């Protein structure tokens, strides 16, 4: 009898959990849910503003024209986004969250399992100019379409996984790293792979195939919490063609001490992920 009743107890517990979460989302006023999310972000130093904030069936929240800021300014803006609690994982006793968002003409999808923790992320045709965090972190003007596909498990030193990145028809200008300017250029493609394991992240040759210049960025970072404080050990390799070098002679004069051979520059980058520095 006890053996027969065990599956019923498990099924009853799962159904109770699903019912409890459903009723919680249905009965709790949307203003209270927004307040909880806002306070959580404020504890981390971020401010949330949203033009529209409402529940979505069956277990979700939808926001429109949302913006996230900190003391540096606007970091993220979402034309629309929906965050849902997945139903099927609940029936096996697991909690999994899904998010879908539109940023400009692009789309972002992500899933997150807090218990593991595990996260997967996919971006399709997201305009760089609609990701203010990139401008805040680098001070640069950026255009192009971003594609990302990756997944990670763990956090901090236990983080492991990989992410592929591609940017098409990129235009980068005004880039400075700790005050040192880097050349302005147009790039048909930017491609790279990032892997994390054993407490270390490895940027495996992020390449910039440009009009008159080829750039390669590679190196490592030590994984920390928060991720923005991760120490960097990177190298930027610049290989400009003579015509390109002549057009931006002033920039390359400032980079002269990093020249290793004619048409080849190697620039070491240290500091942290959110505050890189050139030695």
Tell me the per-residue pLDDT of 93-104, one tens digit each, with 9 for 90 and over.
677 889 999 999
Give the separation between CA 233 and CA 272, rounded to whole angstroms.
9
Which residues lie closer than 8 Å to 225 by C-beta, 6 or more apart? 155, 156
Q: Are 179 and 212 in contact (CB under 8 A)?
A: no
Structural domain contains residue 127: yes
pLDDT at 161 (0 to 100) = 95
- The burial of 16, by beta-carbon neighbours within 10 Å (0-12 exposed, 13-18 middle, 19 or more buried), is given as exposed
Strongest mean pLDDT among 20-29, 107-116, 119-128, 149-158: 119-128
pLDDT, average across residues 257-264? 94
Structural domain contains residue 61: no
Element (H, E) at 243: helix 242-247
Structural domain contains residue 52: no
Q: The tokens of 233 are what?
A: 């050990």
Structural domain contains residue 163: yes
Neighbours of 126 (CB within 10 A): 22
Structural domain contains residue 237: yes
Counting the structural domains of the chain, the total is: 1
Structural domain contains residue 5: no
Name the average pLDDT for the chain: 84
Domain enclosing residue 225, as ranges: 104-278
Q: 143: pLDDT confidence band, cut at 50, 70 and 90?
A: very high
Structural domain contains residue 226: yes
Structural domain contains residue 93: no
């Amino acid at each position: 009898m006890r053996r027969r009743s065990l599956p019923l107890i498990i099924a009853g517990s799962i159904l109770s959990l699903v019912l409890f979460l459903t009723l919680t989302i249905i009965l709790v006023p949307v203003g209270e849910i927004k307040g909880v999310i806002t306070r959580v972000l404020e504890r981390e130093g971020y401010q949330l503003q949203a033009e529209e904030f409402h529940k979505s069936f069956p277990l979700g929240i939808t926001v429109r024209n949302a913006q996230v800021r900190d003391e540096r300014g606007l970091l993220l803006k979402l034309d629309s986004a929906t965050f849902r609690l997945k139903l099927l994982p609940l029936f096996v006793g697991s909690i999994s969250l899904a998010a879908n968002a539109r940023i400009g003409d692009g789309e972002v999808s992500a899933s997150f399992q807090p218990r593991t923790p595990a996260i997967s992320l996919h971006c399709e045709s997201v305009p760089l100019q609609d990701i203010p965090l990139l401008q805040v972190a680098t001070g640069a003007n950026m255009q192009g379409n971003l594609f990302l596909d990756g997944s990670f498990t763990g956090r901090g030193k236990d983080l492991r996984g990989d992410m592929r990145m591609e940017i098409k028809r990129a235009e980068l200008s005004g880039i400075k790293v700790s005050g040192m300017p880097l050349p302005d250029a147009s790039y048909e493609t930017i491609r790279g792979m990032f892997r994390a394991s054993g407490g270390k992240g490895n940027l495996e040759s992020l390449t910039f195939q440009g009009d008159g210049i080829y750039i390669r960025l590679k190196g490592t970072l030590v994984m920390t919490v928060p991720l923005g404080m991760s120490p960097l050990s990177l190298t930027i390799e610049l290989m400009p063609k003579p015509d390109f070098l002549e057009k931006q002679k002033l920039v390359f004069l400032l980079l002269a001490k990093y020249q290793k051979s004619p048409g080849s520059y190697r620039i070491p980058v240290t500091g942290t992920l959110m505050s890189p520095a050139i030695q």
